[in-house]
């Protein structure tokens, strides 16, 4: 599954004001922008963003942007 670049950029924009978001905060932000998207789809996309190196999961239920060193 290939994620739309606009979706990636939008998710990255959620971290402009906060460096860490809880899972619930991240899901709500995505849901606000994509109200018809199911919870399971959102979680799949979050998982894909983690595997693609866009998001990092420093502890359970917490997400941050992964910084390239």
CA dist 48 and 50 (Å) reads 5
Per-residue pLDDT reduced to its tens digit, 4-61: 888 999 999 999 999 999 999 999 999 999 999 999 999 999 999 999 999 999 999 9
> In which element (H, E) is residue 62 found?
strand 62-65
CA dist 21 and 69 (Å) reads 21
CATH number at residue 51: 1.10.10.10
Q: Which domain holds residue 12?
A: 5-65
Stretch 58-67: mean pLDDT: 92
**pLDDT surpasses 50 at 69:** no
Q: What is the DSSP letter of 14?
A: T
CA dist 11 and 33 (Å) reads 10
How many structural domains does the chain have? 1
């Amino acid at each position: 599954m290939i994620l739309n670049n606009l979706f990636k950029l939008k998710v990255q924009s959620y971290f402009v004001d906060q460096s860490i978001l809880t899972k619930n905060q991240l899901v709500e932000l995505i849901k606000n922008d994509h109200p018809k998207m199911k919870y399971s789809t959102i979680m799949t996309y979050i998982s894909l963003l983690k595997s693609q190196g866009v998001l990092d999961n420093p502890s359970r239920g917490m997400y941050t942007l992964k910084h390239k060193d």
